[in-house]
Amino acid sequence: MITSIKGGEKAIDASHQLLSKRRRGDPNVAQLSVEQIREQLSLAVDRVMNEGSLYDPTLAALAIKQAEGDLIEAIYLLRAYRSTIPRFGFTLPLDTASMIVRRRISTTHKDVPGGQFLGPTYDYTHRLIDFALLDGCDDEDGLPLPDSDQVEDLHLHHDAGFISRTGLVEEELPDDSQEVADITRSPLTFPSTRDQRLQNLVRGDEGFLMALCYSTMRGYGRNHPYVAEMRHGDVSVVMEIPEIDLEAGIGTVQITECRTIHLTVGKSETPPRYTRGYGLLFGHSERKALSVAVVDRALRGAEFGEERRYPAQDEEFVLSHSDSVAASGLVQHLKLPHYVDFQAEQQLLRRLREDYDKRASEALAKENDDA
Amino acid sequence: MLDDLALNGEAEEYSYGFLDEQTKRMIRRAILKAVSIPGYQVPFGDREIPLPPGWGTGGIQVTASIIGKTDCLKVIDQGADDTTNAVSIRRFFARVARVNTTESTGEATIVQSRHRIPERPLQDDQILVMQVPQPEPLRRLVTSEVETRKLHAFARYGLMQVRLYEDIARYGNIVMSHDYPVRVHDRYLASPSPVPKFDNPKLHRSRALTIFGAGRERRIYAIPPFTDVRSIDFDDHPFERQKWQSCCARCGAEDSYLDEMLLDDAGNTQFVCSDTSYCNDRLSEGASR
């Protein structure tokens, strides 16, 4: 006898129980705490905060725990939580020039005013599995772990203006003429504005954006990027409080800021120059900051009279497919029952098939007659 | 057999030069083929190595396959030995191949480089290994690999010539400052890797073997010693190298590629040799500005 899948309630409850059981793993192994995730898996936390559009390391860590390390699921959890919190207003633009720098590099010059700080980076590690970490007492170089945060703060107080002063680079002009878009409150429109695009890209899936950036570098919409500056560190968040007519610091956030410059000789009426791409992300997210900056520049083609030929240059393609929550949702909806549509389609197919068979047998009969 | 499997000798964590012996043999075969057909891109089976693709894995695999205990390795990036990626690669080989390393171009038997060819002419007993991000010079014009392979097979390079012509017609100049394509021995069009076009003439009839490794794109190609290498151009628009108004602020060299150093926030700059070994050699020989 065929039983249809009904009465899902019990099944769902049971499924959730199985999830909790799997999440816990072997009960003889100590349970992972949210603090451990926040402190020791901080790069995963940063990714979840960026794509979840919410700066809250503890909640992001909790989401990672709840989602068993499935970051896209964790991002979704954080996004859903975000819907429940009210918006007070906008902060002032972050003053990234006065960042307390943990890391800062520039690739266009051997050294730059203000200096470069390698800081923490996997860039120059050799990717050899460090079996010492199995025992878990020492860090990669076999050095004892520091008891406290012994790293000295580097107050940089230096903007990325050095590159502007060459006179060959597009100026970075603040534009306060219109309110900043908020794509989490009002929908994206096409043609899009740059603030909309940058917000969309920051929320976009890291893998997708990296692949787009990679495609431009492999010839599908080449845009010649240089990293003029990449910096990572802490900045203060300042809010203007109109009731008391005061600007007040409300906390600090860790961010990564990336400025790229791109050789642009497109239009005859504008001077040949370097134009800019920009990426600003929460936490330490250099791969994504770079991808955002390069794709930002790719999407600015219309401003410079560039032909739109490749995926990375097509704002509708990029912005409509960047969101991991949306993409994951639709892709996985294929697991939902579809038997009503399938039934209807099957009927149609049967009819088409009958017509085809009829035509085929008629043709065969005609051929036999002719022969 | 035991030699092949590197099972003899003391218990070592990793194979000599990191890659296993079969992989090195495969890469050496690709190199031999590349040397036999100058400028032709030979596909090879790229391996994951402890440095990320795009950071010189092609060059590293070539070096790993040709290096021996008697070699002396120099690694440069942007012409300098002290740039972080160069330091990282040099340390890698010091560890997995236990070779001597040097910062002097003259002492090295293998020079692995990214974005520069040393100023000091290389000699017969030296090998230059270039790291290559995009081995296909036609890629900027034709995205399809199927198409570009055909164009190479028939030596149909008109597209590139047209691109140069269009640049001249539109901007009055060829808008390519680095990775400027060359014809190798009047046959294959090849990428010199993203070296400034200043370095292109150094490839022409060089006494040293140059091997180009592109890991991510899985290609190896080579320019054997004394091969003709011509940067493509037009009779009425001959190929030109970069020129500077000033000389090196350290050693006074007028014939080297110069880096612009930013001195302060007011926009003051100074030029120094990008090739640190060349600059230091000149200083120790008593040259100064």
DSSP B227-267: --EEE--BTTB-------SS--TTT--SSS-EEEEE-STT-
- Do A191 and A287 contact (CB within 8 A), yes or no? no
Query: What's the length of chain B?
Result: 289
Residues B133, B17 share a domain: yes
Residues B277, B175 share a domain: no
| Of B228, B217, B219, residue with least CA distance to B188 | B228
What is the mean predicted confidence (pLDDT) over B81-93? 91
Residues B223, B271 share a domain: no
Predicted confidence at residue B11, as pLDDT, reads: 45
* Among B56, B58, B79, B248, the one annotated catalytic: B248
**What is the pTM for the complete model shown?**
0.82
- Do B204 and B273 contact (CB within 8 A), yes or no? no
Q: Which residues pair with B269 in a beta bridge?
A: B262
pLDDT, one tens digit per residue, over A211-246 is 999 999 998 988 889 999 999 999 999 999 888 889
| Of A210, A227, A230, residue with least CA distance to A291 | A210
The shortest CB-CB distance from B139 to any of A126, A219, A268 is to A219
Residues B226, B252 share a domain: no
A28-32, B9-13, B188-192: the lowest-pLDDT one: B9-13
What is the mean predicted confidence (pLDDT) over A43-51? 97
Q: Which residues of chain B does A116 touch, with a Cβ-Cβ cutoff of 8 Å?
A: none
B265 and A166: CB-CB below 8 Å? Answer: no
Per-residue pLDDT band at B53 (split at 50, 70, 90): confident
Q: What is the mean pLDDT of chain A?
A: 88
Distance in Å from the first CA to the final CA of chain B:
59
Q: Is B158 a member of any domain?
A: no
A127-141, A344-358, B148-162: the lowest-pLDDT one: A127-141
What is the mean predicted confidence (pLDDT) over A287-315? 94
pLDDT tops 70 at residue A106: yes
CB atoms near residue A200 (< 10 Å): 22
- The more confidently predicted of residues A237 and B4 is A237
Predicted confidence at residue B4, as pLDDT, reads: 45
Amino acid at A282: F
Residues B185, B247 share a domain: no
Q: Which residues of chain B does A166 touch, with a Cβ-Cβ cutoff of 8 Å?
A: 267
Predicted confidence at residue A103, as pLDDT, reads: 93
Number of separate domains in chain B: 2
Residue in chain B nearest A112 by alpha carbon: B262
Residues B259, B223 share a domain: no
Residues B248, B177 share a domain: no
Residues B77, B43 share a domain: yes
pLDDT tops 80 at residue A167: no
Give the structural domain span for B267: 243-289
ipTM above 0.85, yes or no: no
Predicted confidence at residue B289, as pLDDT, reads: 58
B259 and A126: CB-CB below 8 Å? Answer: no
Q: Is B248 in the active site?
A: yes
pLDDT, one tens digit per residue, over B111-152 is 999 999 999 999 999 999 999 999 999 998 998 889 999 999
Give the list of residues 6+ apart from residue A271 with CB closer than 8 angstroms, or none.
Answer: none
Residues B222, B250 share a domain: no
Q: Is B22 a member of any domain?
A: yes
pLDDT, one tens digit per residue, over A117-135 is 889 999 888 888 888 888 7
Per-residue pLDDT band at A335 (split at 50, 70, 90): confident
Per-residue pLDDT band at A190 (split at 50, 70, 90): confident
Residues B248, B126 share a domain: no
Q: Three-class SS of residue B190?
A: strand
Predicted confidence at residue A127, as pLDDT, reads: 87
B262 and A265: CB-CB below 8 Å? Answer: no
Which one of B191, B206, B231 terminates a domain? B231
In angstroms, what separates the C-alpha of B213 from chain A's closest C-alpha?
A: 16
Q: Is B150 a member of any domain?
A: no
Residues B275, B193 share a domain: no
Phi first, then psi, for residue B152 (nearest 5°) are -65, -40
- Do A155 and A100 contact (CB within 8 A), yes or no? yes
Strand order across the B110-114 sheet: B42-43, B219-223, B209-214, B127-131, B110-114, B72-77, B100-101
B134 and A218: CB-CB below 8 Å? Answer: yes
A112 and B267: CB-CB below 8 Å? Answer: no
Q: Which residue has the tokens 């007011």?
A: B266
Q: Three-class SS of residue B222?
A: strand
Q: Which residues pair with A78 in a beta bridge?
A: none
Predicted confidence at residue B9, as pLDDT, reads: 45
Which one of B231, B258, B280 terminates a domain? B231
Q: Is B253 a member of any domain?
A: yes
CB atoms near residue B214 (< 10 Å): 27
In angstroms, what separates the C-alpha of A231 from chain B's closest C-alpha?
A: 17
Residues B203, B267 share a domain: no
- Do B148 and B140 contact (CB within 8 A), yes or no? no
The shortest CB-CB distance from B262 to any of A113, A219, A268 is to A113
Which one of B207, B231, B255 terminates a domain? B231
Q: Is B279 in the active site?
A: yes
Q: Is B148 a member of any domain?
A: no
Per-residue pLDDT band at B5 (split at 50, 70, 90): very low
* Among B17, B39, B59, B215, the one annotated catalytic: B39
A124 and B85: CB-CB below 8 Å? Answer: yes
- The more confidently predicted of residues A82 and A4 is A82
* Chain A residues contacting B via beta carbons under 8 Å: 109-113, 118, 123-124, 126-128, 161-162, 165-166, 217-220, 222, 265, 268, 272
CA distance A252 to B210: 52
b/e burial code for range A44-64 (CB count within 10 A of at least 16 → b): bbbbbbbbbbbbbbebbbbbb
Q: Is B157 a member of any domain?
A: no
